[in-house]
Amino acid sequence: MDLQQRHHLRISGRPDGQPMIFAHGFGCDQNMWRHVAPAFEDDFRVVLFDHVGAGNSDSSAYDFDRYASLKAYADDVVRIVTELDLHDVVFVGHSVSAMIGVLAERVVPERFAKLVLVGPSPRYIDDEGYVGGFAEQDIHELLDSLDSNYLGWSAAMAPAIMGNPDRPALGQELTESFCRTDPDIARAFARVTFLSDNRADLAAVSTPTLVLQCSNDVIAPVEVGRYVADRIPDSTLVQLDATGHCPNLSAPEETTAAIAAFVRATEPEGAPVGP
Amino acid sequence: MTQHESAREAFFDALLDDDPEQLYDRAPCGYLSTSPDGRIVKVNQTLLTWTGYERDELLQRSFVDLLTPGGRLYHETHYAPMLRLQAAVREIALDVVRADGQRIPVLVNANLEIDEAGEPVVVRIVLFDATERRTYERELLRARQQAEASERQARELAHTLQRTLLPPKEPAIPELDIAATFQPAGDTLEIGGDFYDVFQVAEGDWVAIIGDVCGKGVEAAILTALIRDTLRAVVVGMHEPSKALSALNEVLVHHETDRFCTLVMVRMQHGAEGWTAAISSGGHPRPLLIGPGRNREEVGGQGPLVGVLDAPEFRDERVALRPGDALVLFTDGVTESRDGAAFYGDARLREVLGRPFESARSVVDAVFEDVVAYSGGPTRDDVAVVVMRVPERS
């Protein structure tokens, strides 16, 4: 199948620039990067995509068995990188896509130049000696929450409900596509996301990595961000003033500046955290 | 103006002049404002009463702190991004946790106020008590899940039943290459009416049947089983397919249903000269004969639908098959498969069959793949194809 259609790939910026891939997290699509990605189009070849099953991806390519683990999402990233023949890639992953990037880097580390992990969490559920922030019960509650919210969100209804007559300027394209996910796929993706455990993968990352940590992030608390930065050998932790889990939307300038400082630096900058 | 009237007027004036503070605080909904990053800056009395918090307690918190952990996940992954991207969210179902730990199901509407410079200023959030609605929705959800489960079960049952009506796989016939395919109509719970059967009568003596029962569903399945069993019984000692069709016709006419079928029956007999096929059709598209030097012509004696007339006349046509010859039996799901308003048609089928083939399977696959390509996805009707081919002598 056509890669472009499968992932609703959108490529912009300098055609000969260093490739920079932005990956969205659970619950959203590539629109999450609309206030950040354009800032890199001057120097970089910017690649935006939707995970299969999200946004405007080809949801007929979604297979419940295949996408039962984050590995499948990572394989999709690898496929994008190899089919577009990208080298020296800067990968920016938000939320669950941070770990998807980590897994992709483990497959083709030679293709990656830098990783930027925004609000990463290698495991959301508490474990012995590890605080992820959630209990398994909480994840089931999220699934219930998805169910009760999709109840009124049938495919036909979604555009009408999400359309905002008060602010037509926000654009039809956005209201129609944003967060529009098949309820069954959303449930499956939620399960894969929040029940995953990728702690063991962190130490194997060889690419220089920036961990962007928000303040008061209920999904990925500061301790978790620190845990990630401690485990990835060549990594830097930057704490943002931005609060919540989506600094790419709530504080795009600060987020952009932090990413730019890391990816535009020709020499490795700052003292790497960790062993 | 009477005293009564002026009192009335004063009363309505007072209503119109209702203190905005009272309108806010005593609104029949929870109402709060937060900074763009979610910190609560203002909250009405109704919400305080619902939640059992003191005003000061809430003013130190974020809106997400009022939610369940699952609700927080939903808030951060859906609600907050949507609010940022669209400046509003509507009818979000969440649970608010009261000071005593109890939960109140609410529906949330929120607006993000943006100033002239495009900077977010404040978020206004209204919460409606949705306790009873949520209970009702849970029932709806359960009902939907049950319906979906039943549908899955019905579909499985239909497909299982349909499979039992078809031979599990083509029999191995000495010196005859045979292949078949059957594809039930896409996206349907019902059992379609197409069927085929291939069975042995004696050594070097075989019968192949392909047909289409009028209608769908369980009744069609029952009739299919009846037709198959009747034909298997009557062909013993009855060499002409036309006679077998007459016998079947009598059974169907006297059967309690008023359903009928179309059918092609081929009797394949192997003698010193090779294979001979005796073919009779009852209202069914006649098989095509393909092979070296053959013109893809229709073969078989023609007759009416089976199970309608009291004394129909069926005919046989005999064809001596040469090495490389193949008989292509099919149902109208092939020729009547659709691309919008257009039909696949006989001409296109003949075109596909014009290629050279080396096996019965390659013929079946070529036809089936072309039909699927033509209809651009699952076919709307059952599609069945059976091909019998005499191998070239090696």
CATH code, domain with A103: 3.40.50.1820
Hey, of B72, B77, B128, which one would you mutate to test binding to chain A, going by the most A CBs within 10 A of its CB? B77
pLDDT category of residue B156 using cuts at 50, 70 and 90: confident
CB contact under 8 A, A139 and B73: yes
pLDDT band at A58 (very low <50, low <70, confident <90, very high): confident
B261 and B375 housed in the same domain: yes
Question: How much is the average pLDDT of B308-315?
Answer: 93
Q: Are residues B103 and B194 in the same domain?
A: no
Q: Please check whether residue A136 lies inside any domain of the structure.
A: yes
What interface predicted TM-score (ipTM) does this complex get? Answer: 0.83
The pair of structure tokens assigned to A165 is 């007559």
Domain that holds residue A243: 3-263
Q: What is the pLDDT of residues A66-114, one digit of tens each?
A: 999 999 999 999 999 999 999 999 999 999 999 999 999 999 999 999 9
- The answer to whether residue A275 is domain-embedded is no
- Is A241 designated active site? no
Q: How far is A85 from chain B (nearest CA, A)?
A: 32
Contacts of A249 in chain B (CB under 8 A): 80-81, 84-85
- Asked whether residue B99 falls in the same domain as residue B194, the answer is no
pLDDT of residue A159: 39
CA distance B70 to chain A (A): 4
Q: Is B136 within a domain?
A: no
Asked if residue A13 belongs to a domain, the reply is yes
Residue among A105, A240, A9 nearest B37 (CA): A240
User: Of B38, B77, B86, which has the smallest distance from its Cβ to A174's Cβ?
Assistant: B86
A167 conformational bin, left if phi > 0, alpha if psi -120 to 50, beta if neither: beta
Interface test with B, best of A36, A145, A214, A241 (most B CBs within 10 A): A145
Asked if B110 and B180 sit in the same domain, the reply is no
For residues B100 and B232, membership in a common domain is answered with no
CA-based nearest residue to B181, from B389, B383, B391:
B383
Q: Is B297 among the domain residues?
A: yes
B145 in a structural domain: no
For chain A, what is the domain count?
1
Q: Would B159 be classed as within a structural domain?
A: no
Across the interface, do A246 and B80 touch by the CB < 8 Å criterion? yes
Sequence-distant (6+) residues with CB within 8 A of B319 are: B276, B277, B279, B289, B299, B327
Query: Is A24 considered catalytic here?
Result: no
Residue B139: inside a domain: no
Whether A5 shows a pLDDT value over 80: the answer reads yes
Residues B123, B183, single domain; the answer is: no
Q: How far from B93 is each of A78, A112, B96, B128, B314, CA to CA, in Å?
A: 37, 41, 10, 10, 68
Task: Express each pLDDT in A22-46 by its tens digit.
Answer: 999 998 899 999 999 999 999 999 9
Give bridge partners of residue B328 from the DSSP assignment.
B288, B387
- B366 and B219 in a single domain? The answer is yes
Q: Which of B81, B109, B129 is the last residue of a domain?
A: B129
Residue A245: active-site member: yes
- Number of residue pairs across A and B with CB atoms under 8 Å? 120
Q: B378 in a domain, yes or no? A: yes
- CB pair distance less than 8 Å for A31 and B141: no
How many folded domains does chain B comprise? Answer: 2
Residue of B nearest to A160 (CA): B90
Contact A246 B68 (CB under 8 A): no
| DSSP 8-state symbol, A40 | G
Q: CB-based contact (8 Å) between B97 and chain A?
A: no
Domain annotation covers residue B151: no
Inter-residue contact B294 to B242 (CB < 8 Å): no
Q: Bigger pLDDT: A1 or B118?
A: B118
User: Which residues on chain A are in Cβ contact (under 8 Å) with B138?
Assistant: 148
Query: Position of tokens 């000495």?
Result: B174
The answer as to whether A268 is a domain residue is no
Q: Which residues in chain B have Cβ-Cβ distances shorter than 8 Å to A31?
A: 85
Residue B305 in any domain: the answer is: yes
Record: contact A170-B86, CB cut-off 8 A: yes
Are B94 and A146 a contacting pair at CB < 8 A? no
- Chain A positions in Cβ-Cβ contact with residue B71 (cut-off 8 Å): 141-142, 145
Length of chain A: 275
Q: Is residue A165 part of a domain?
A: yes
The verdict on a CB contact (< 8 Å) between A148 and B87 is no
The verdict on B117 and B235 lying in the same domain is no
Q: For A61-75, A143-157, B341-355, which range has the lowest pLDDT when averaged over its residues?
A: A143-157
B93 and chain A: CB distance < 8 Å anywhere? yes
Instruction: With beta carbons less than 8 A apart as the criterion, state whether B26 and B45 touch.
Output: yes
Mean pLDDT, residues B199-207: 93
User: Can you tell me the distance from the alpha carbon of A207 to that of A201, in angstroms, rounded to the nearest whole number?
Assistant: 13
Query: Which CATH number is B25's domain given?
Result: 3.30.450.20
Domain containing B122 equals 3-129
Please report whether residue A272 resides in a domain.
Answer: no
* Band of residue A153 on the pLDDT scale cut at 50, 70, 90: very low
Is A178 in contact with B82 (Cβ distance < 8 A)? yes
Q: Give yes or no for B115 touching A (CB within 8 A).
A: no
Q: Are residues B323 and B223 in the same domain?
A: yes
Q: Which residues of B touch A194 (CB under 8 A)?
A: 73
Q: Are residues B183 and B123 in the same domain?
A: no
Q: Is residue A269 part of a domain?
A: no
Shared-domain flag, residues B271 and B348? yes
Say if residue A147's pLDDT is above 90: no
A150 occurs within a structural domain: yes
Q: What share of chain A is helix, strand, coil (3-state, %, to 5)?
A: 45, 20, 35
Please list, in sequence order, all residues whose beta carbon lies within 8 angstroms of the beta carbon of residue A119, skipping any fewer than 6 positions away.
Answer: A25, A94, A95, A98, A212, A213, A214, A217, A219, A220, A225, A245, A246, A247
